Amino acid sequence: MSSTTDLPSLESLEFLPYINDVGELPEFQNQVGIYAIFDADKSLQFVGYSRDIYLSLKQHLVRQPDDCYWVKITTIDRPNRTFLDSVRSTWLEENGKIPIGNGASNAQWLDPIPTNYAMTAAESDSFEDLDGVAQIKLLKQVARRVEETILAKLQQRGVRSEIRFNPKLKEQGLLDLK
């Protein structure tokens, strides 16, 4: 655990596998800290901080499963946004360029997954003609298809952690963990 006076360099931290040999994410439940996510080639994809690193890592894995293979983490005792912002800035500067997850693709790393892209042409054409209840039913159906695709991809990666999506958001055509 870092004190809020140490600014750990990204280079000084060890790579941890995003998913361990038993299909679990790193054990950082309820821990405050900052993390850097890397793809399979150990290329930096995203730097973020959280009050619960484990939940944040789980969210990122669901949103960007193809880009979450390695992680570097440092924890702190108490939330301190100023310190965490300083570490993030230091790590981004150390990287030499802004990773795509902190730049152009930031919303894909942080926001609920929109599922409307997965509507068939027929579903999309008929959507406006449906009443409110039928629209919600269609949005949920499309969200479930996207959910199945995500869960299948995570299963292929060997993930054993429980993944539960918020059912209320499916009614809006969005996926996010509960």
Domains of the chain: 16-110 (3.40.1440.10), 113-175 (no CATH)
Q: Which pTM was predicted?
A: 0.91
Per-residue pLDDT of the chain (178 residues; tens, 9 = 90+): 544 456 789 999 999 999 999 999 999 999 999 999 999 999 999 999 999 999 999 999 999 999 999 999 999 998 899 999 999 999 999 999 999 999 999 999 999 999 999 999 999 999 999 999 999 999 999 999 999 999 999 999 999 999 999 999 999 999 999 8
Listed in sequence order, the residues at least 6 apart from 130 whose beta carbon sits closer than 8 Å to its beta carbon are 138
- Say what the pLDDT of residue 3 is: 46
Question: 């990122």: which residue's tokens?
Answer: 60
d(CA 137, CA 142): 9
- Say what the pLDDT of residue 78 is: 87
Q: With CA atoms as reference, report the closest residue to 101 among 72, 70, 68, 74.
A: 68
- Say what the pLDDT of residue 4 is: 46
